[in-house]
Amino acid sequence: MIAYVTVGADDIARAKRFYSAFLPALDYGLEEGPEGLSYALPEQPGQSAALPDFYVKPTFDGRPASAGNGAMIAFEARSQKQVRDLHSAALVAGGFDEGQPGFRDSYGPHFYVGYLRDPQGNKIALFSNDPDEPGREG
């Protein structure tokens, strides 16, 4: 089980603007401190395991932060509309488009996804995979 995910950021204020454009809509709460940003989902009654937290921090070694080649972090949205809305909000908040929301031939018929880069270059996916919503034409 993944306990947490951390990405580095050289400009915490810029990263906060980007991530706060969509993570609160996915129920992530934010705690700020001198060590950076901590986004966490609320604990649910009867929840047996903690859900992964997401951290945005300056690098520990003081060298510039960099994005991992081939690394991507995916956040699940509630609907295709929410994917579109949050993708747009993240672009306005300083993100970069890496793939407009839509269906992809290589994924299942209901997997709807949009891709972004955060201001530091980390790749982010926002997706919905709800079988009750319209699917990709086969």
113 assigned to some structural domain: yes
pLDDT in tens, 18-33: 999 999 999 999 999 9
64 assigned to some structural domain: no
89 assigned to some structural domain: yes
pLDDT in tens, 37-50: 999 998 888 877 66
Q: Report the alpha-carbon distance of residue 71 to residue 9 in Å, rounded.
A: 15
79 assigned to some structural domain: yes
Using alpha carbons, list the distances in angstroms from residue 82 to 35, 47, 74, 128.
30, 25, 14, 8
Look at the chain and report how many structural domains it folds into.
1
138 assigned to some structural domain: no
Question: What range defines the domain where residue 12 resides?
Answer: 4-59+70-128
37 assigned to some structural domain: yes
CATH number at residue 50: 3.10.180.10
Q: Within 13 Å and on the Cβ side, how many CA atoms surround 71? A: 11
81 assigned to some structural domain: yes
Weakly modelled stretches of the chain, pLDDT under 70: 1, 49-50, 138
9 assigned to some structural domain: yes
